[in-house]
Amino acid sequence: MSKARDSIFRTGFVHVALIAYTLVSLFPVFLTIINSFKDRNAIFRAPLTIPTPQTFSLIGYETVLGQGDFATYFQNSFIVTIVSIALVLLFGAMAAFALSEYRFRGNTVMGLYLAIGIMIPIRLGTVAILQGMVAANLVNTLTALILVYTAQGLPLAIFILSEFMRTVSDDLKNAGRIDGLSEYAIFFRLVLPLVRPAMATVAVFTMIPIWNDLWFPLILAPAEATKTVTLGSQIFIGQFVTNWNAVLAALSLAILPVLVLYVIFSRQLIRGITAGAVK
C-alpha cells in the first residue's frame, strides 16, 4: 500500500519536473512566435502579451518574404541539412557495422580515433578548414558546408550506431550468410531495419545543430546564393537599427521545417521499437 502511494508521489513529482522543464524550454519559442505577429511598438511596450486586434501585424512576415531571397535561404538550409543527415547516416551506419561486426587489426584503435571527434569541437579547426576549402575551390558552395557537417556528425553517429549494432543477433546475420545474402544485403536488409530507432535518434541529434549553425555558413559560404536561413536573418540585425519584426518572423519561419523533420523522425523512433525481431 505504501508502495502504491509512493509511486503516485514519485510519478507526480516526475511529471511536475518534466512540465516545468517543458515550460522553461518552450517559453522563448512562444515569445518569439507571439511577438512575430505584433507591430514594432507592441513588441517593446508589452513583449509578454499575445497579439490583440490592435497590435496584430504581419509586417515582419511581409518584410521577410518581400525580401525575395528568403526562399533561396530556406532552400539552402534544406539542402545542406538533408544531404548532411543522409551522408552521416549512410557513412555512420556503414562504419559502425564494420566496427561492430568484423574483427580486424586496429578495430579498437579505429573506434577510439573516431570517438575523439565527439570530444574535440570541429570549430577548433576552422582556419585549416577554410584554407582547405579555398585550396579546393569550394568556398561559397553548399558542398563545403555539407562536407564539414558530415564530418562533424559522424563521430557521434558511429558511436551510437555501433553500440546498437552490437545488439543485433549474430544468428540473424549468419542465417543471412547461409541463405546467400552478400554482406551489403545483410547490412541494408537485415541490420538497418533493426537499428532504425537508433538511426532516428542520430538523425535528430545531427539535424538540429546543422540547421541552427551560424559559424560555418558565415565563414565558408557567406555569398548571397549560398546563405542559409540563420545567416540570412542576420541582415535584419544592424549595428544601429535592428528590424525586430523581421528577425522574429524569420526565426519563427525557421522553426517550422525542423519541427516537421523532427515529427517524421520521432515517428520512425516509435515504429522501430514496436517491430518484432528475434525471439
Partner 1 sequence: MGSLQLKSIRKAYGSHEVLKGIDLEVKDGEFVIFVGPSGCGKSTLLRTIAGLEDATSGSVQIDGTEVGHVAPAKRGIAMVFQSYALYPHLTVKDNMGLGLKQAGKPKAEIDDKVGKAASMLSLDPYLARRPAELSGGQRQRVAIGRAIVREPKLFLFDEPLSNLDAALRVNTRLEIARLHRSLKATMIYVTHDQVEAMTLADKIVVLNAGKIEQIGSPMDLYNRPANVFVAGFIGSPQMNFIDGARLGDTRAKTIGIRPEHMALSRESGDWKGKVVHVEHLGADTIVYLESEQAGTITVRLFGEHRYAPDDIVYATPMVGSMHRFGADDRILD
Q: Site for partner 1 (CB under 8 A): which residue of 79, 83, 181, 235?
A: 181
Q: Site for partner 1 (CB under 8 A): which residue of 176, 197, 217, 232?
A: 176
Q: Site for partner 1 (CB under 8 A): which residue of 48, 124, 171, 238?
A: 171
For partner 1, give the closer residue by CB, 18 or 185.
Answer: 185
Minimum distance from CB of 176 to partner 1 (Å)? Answer: 8
For partner 1, give the closer residue by CB, 93 or 253.
Answer: 93
Mask of contacts with partner 1, 205-244, x by CB under 8 A?
Answer: ----------------------------------------
**Is residue 3 close enough to count as binding partner 1 by CB under 8 A?**
no
Backbone angle region of 94, left / alpha / beta, with phi > 0 → left and psi within -120 to 50 → alpha: alpha
Q: Site for partner 1 (CB under 8 A): which residue of 190, 208, 218, 258?
A: 190
**Is residue 174 close enough to count as binding partner 1 by CB under 8 A?**
yes
**Is residue 197 close enough to count as binding partner 1 by CB under 8 A?**
no
**Is residue 275 close enough to count as binding partner 1 by CB under 8 A?**
yes
**Is residue 278 close enough to count as binding partner 1 by CB under 8 A?**
yes
Minimum distance from CB of 112 to partner 1 (Å)? Answer: 20
Which residues contribute to the site for partner 1 (CB under 8 A)?
A: 169, 171-172, 174-181, 189-190, 193-194, 275-279
